[in-house]
Structures are given as structure tokens and as C-alpha cells.
Amino acid sequence: MKKLKELSLKQLEEEMSVMDKKLLKSTMGGTDPNDCLWRCFAYIHGSGTNYSASDAEAMAAQYYGSGFDSNNYGFVGTETQAKALATSVLGSDYVQNSRQILVFNPNDFPDWQVNGTSHAVIVLGYRDGWWDVYDPQNNMRGSLLSTVLNQSSDVYFM
């Protein structure tokens, strides 16, 4: 077994590469850490294949145009505004696709380690009182108990 030694910060910096802030954010869930809805849009638009941080960012940049801010493009708004945004961004992909997006409060589910009070995921199915979902922002599958979702006022399907 290899014995580990304690390194000073200077030694560690010399031995390990240092990521810039933008690269670090993209490896932790997007250029904007609140891009979960845009990741869901990219997932639907790309039929489950192209939904990286750069795919989501490109869709948001196209939508926002010259007002686009790559560090702050997470969606903030009401259910009605989110559905209108989905229709505008996805067009026929949104109408014809069989995938639904579920927006919920991750704080209601202790196993979901996501920041904020609103998070968007792709619905994969429903079985025995559980919603099976896929989180394209964090590349994670999970299940959400429907009785907990029903008790929250911060939940909607789109």
C-alpha cells in the first residue's frame, strides 16, 4: 500500500493542474450552475444525446441573443412562463416529444444534492407511486415519491 504524504499548497499546485473558474463550473453541472431547465431542453431537442453544458448554453444563447450572459442564464419565472419558454425554444420538439419535464423543490428530497429551491429533470416513467426521472445536468437517474411531490407547492410538469 502506498503511503500518502502531506503536501503544501505550493507543492500541490506544482504537481496538479489548476482549473480555471469556467472549466470548473462546467464540470460541476454547467457554465451556469442553474442551467437545469436548459439541460432538459437540450435533452429533448437532441433526443437524449446532446445535452452537455455547451449544448444547453448554445440553446440559451440563441434564445437570448445579444442579452445572453454565459454566467447567468438559469431560468427564473413562473410555471406559465416556463411552459411558454419551452414552446418558444423547442417548438415542435416540445409538442411532439413524449418526454415531460418535472420541476420540483430538491429540498423536499434529502437524497437530491442540488442547490436552490427549484430543479428540472426529465420524466422517464411512473411505477408504484414513484416518478422515475433523469437529471441531465448531473447525469443522474433517480426516483421521486409522488406523495412527497403532491405535498409540495413548488411542483409542476411541463
109-156 confidence digits (pLDDT tens): 888 777 777 889 999 999 999 999 999 988 989 999 899 888 887 888
Return the SS3 of 123. Answer: strand
Edge-to-edge strand ranges of the sheet holding 130-135: 140-145, 130-135, 119-127, 100-104, 156-157
Query: Residue 117 burial (CB < 10 Å; 0-12/13-18/19+)?
Result: exposed
Give 138's contacts (C-beta < 8 A, 6+ positions apart).
29, 114
CA 29 to chain centre: 7
Selected residue with higher pLDDT from 144 and 96 = 144
Give the pLDDT confidence score for residue 23 in this predicted structure: 43
Say if pTM beats, i.e. exceeds, 0.85.
no
Which pLDDT score is estimated for 32? 63
What is the pLDDT, as a whole number, of residue 35? Answer: 86
Residue 84 pLDDT level (bands cut at 50, 70, 90): confident
